[in-house]
Amino acid sequence: MKNEIQFELFGDYALFTDPLTKIGGEKLSYSVPTYQALKGIVESIYWKPTIVFIIDELRVMKPIQMESKGVRPIEYGGGNTLANYTYLKDVHYQVRAHFEFNLHRPEMAFDRNEGKHYSILQRALKAGGRRDIFLGTRECQGYVAPCEFGSGTGFYNEEGTHHLGTMVHGFNYPDETGQHRLDVRLWSAVMEKGYIKFPRPEDCKIIRPVKDMEPKAFHQDNVQSAEQLLRDLGGE
């Protein structure tokens, strides 16, 4: 497909925070990345307001391990609090995703060139991303590299079905929905032999409003077209 990306994602630590654990100042990672976290990672590889990334599938390659650390959070008002953060350790995933044009941004129609976006996306992936990759939080550095999704042997290849419970799926931003509101989506995650297939955002049944929000303003005067960007990068 001319709009698909397949890559491996790995790092020493990850913290895909379960929001329920933030209330007391502690942080506990979900056992796997959320859809929104993976979407943010793909957008760190390459992003423009013209396109929207859809995360199709995740494959967990290594065993799910956790490690707790004592952390002193930054307190701008003073203090010396010691908090307990529980991280995922030695993570390795395969990710399959694709992009679609953001039809809620008609002003970006001038930039709808699938082939150019695909070429830049593949170049950016081979270079390790156009921005730094973080695994849920800034202190957890991540790395990406091209791969064939489904290749190799994963730790959970011979395992059955794992129900991971209700998780945050992601956020509905006004830029991508056309609504002037921020919503959060929830879903019941299931891992089958190491694979997690994500529903599309519009297929999530549990949606909760968060707050009113206006979309960001992008247009031809402040966004470089993919065609021009690819020329600047030395491509055709």
Strand residue runs (E) in 15-149: 27-28, 51-60, 66-71, 83-101, 143-146
Which stretch of 46-50, 54-58, 83-87 has the lowest confidence by average pLDDT? 83-87
pLDDT of residue 143: 98
CATH of the domain at 186: 3.30.70.2660
Token pair belonging to 181: 């509101």
What is the average pLDDT across 211-234? 82
Rounded-to-integer distance, Cα 37 and Cα 102, Å: 19
Does residue 232 belong to any structural domain of this protein? no
pLDDT band at 96 (very low <50, low <70, confident <90, very high): very high
Within-domain flag for 233: no
DSSP state of 217: P
Domain enclosing residue 200, as ranges: 4-227
Q: What is the pLDDT of residue 79?
A: 67
Instruction: Answer whether residue 55 is part of any domain.
Output: yes
207-231 in b/e form (b: 16+ CB < 10 A) is eeeeeebebeebeeeebebbbebbe
17 falls within a domain: yes
Contacts 24+ apart (CB under 8 A), 216-220: 216/49, 216/175, 218/49, 218/105, 218/107, 218/108, 219/107, 219/108, 220/107, 220/110, 220/111
Residue 181 forms part of a structural domain: yes
User: DSSP string spanning 170-189?
Assistant: EEE-HHHHSSSEEEEEEEEE
Q: What is the pLDDT of residue 231?
A: 80
Total domain count, the chain: 1
Q: Is residue 163 assigned to a domain?
A: yes
The contacts of residue 189 (CB under 8 Å, 6+ apart) are 32, 163, 164, 165, 166, 167, 196
Question: What pTM was estimated for this model as a whole?
Answer: 0.92
148 belongs to a structural domain: yes
> Which tens digits make up the pLDDT trace of 164-190?
999 999 999 999 998 999 999 999 999
C-beta separation of 131 from 44 below 8 A: yes
For 88, which DSSP code? E
Average pLDDT over residues 70-80: 72
Confidence of residue 217 (pLDDT cuts 50, 70, 90): confident
How many whole angstroms separate alpha carbon 126 and alpha carbon 146? Answer: 6
Q: Is residue 234 part of a domain?
A: no
